[in-house]
Amino acid sequence: MGRRLAEGPGHPLLGTGTVHASVIHGGEEPSTYPANCRITLERRTVPGESADTVQAELTAVLDRPATAVPDFRYRLTRGLHREPFEADPDAPIVRTLTHHAEQALGHRPAVRAEPHWTDCALLDRAGIPCLLFDVDGAGAHVATEYVDLASLDRLTDILTATIADF
């Protein structure tokens, strides 16, 4: 399934969605076949994909062994689904922040995408203009996470000017 996703159509900045089996439970000992198995997947979507398209995709994958393997049955349960988010590059908030970022940085900031979910999707759905823009640093959500302090100062200046102008 991951290979098929990687070969399919994708988003210009994000590429294709991803999938991985994050939790697998099954079996009781090495020498027997498990009576059942439970797999929890994480399927990250990109703009243009929805919970329904992912459900259909997974059903198609599971239907193949269900028709070919005796006694193979499955139950597909949708867990948490988070809609992907994509900022409109022509939105006023994007233009305003880009203007102030260019002034502070001395160059136009690069437009890029992040493959993880953020609250922007919820804000956007509620009609609140938003985008992702952050500091330089590394190690997000790991033991050694840091930001460049000069970058934090620049971000403060950019956001202050953006808020005043927006």
Digit-coded pLDDT (tens) for 46-85: 888 889 989 999 999 999 999 999 989 999 999 888 888 8
Q: How many CB atoms lie within 10 A of CB 112?
A: 8
Distances (CA, A) of 57 to 18, 49, 50, 125: 12, 11, 11, 25
Task: Please check the confidence at residue 2 and state whether its pLDDT lies above 90.
Answer: no
Full-model pTM: 0.70
Mean pLDDT in residue range 25-44: 91
Least confident segment among 96-105, 127-136, 138-147: 138-147
Task: Please check the confidence at residue 5 and state whether its pLDDT lies above 80.
Answer: no
Tell me which residue has tokens 């027997």: 32
Which among 91, 89, 92 is positioned nearest to 109, based on CA atoms? 89
Element housing 160 (H / E): helix 149-165
Element housing 27 (H / E): none
Q: How many CB atoms lie within 10 A of CB 7?
A: 9
**What domains, with CATH codes, occur in the chain?**
2-68 (no CATH), 92-165 (1.10.150.900)
Percentage of the chain surpassing pLDDT 90? 48
Percentage of the chain surpassing pLDDT 70? 100
Which among 78, 18, 17 is positioned nearest to 48, based on CA atoms? 17
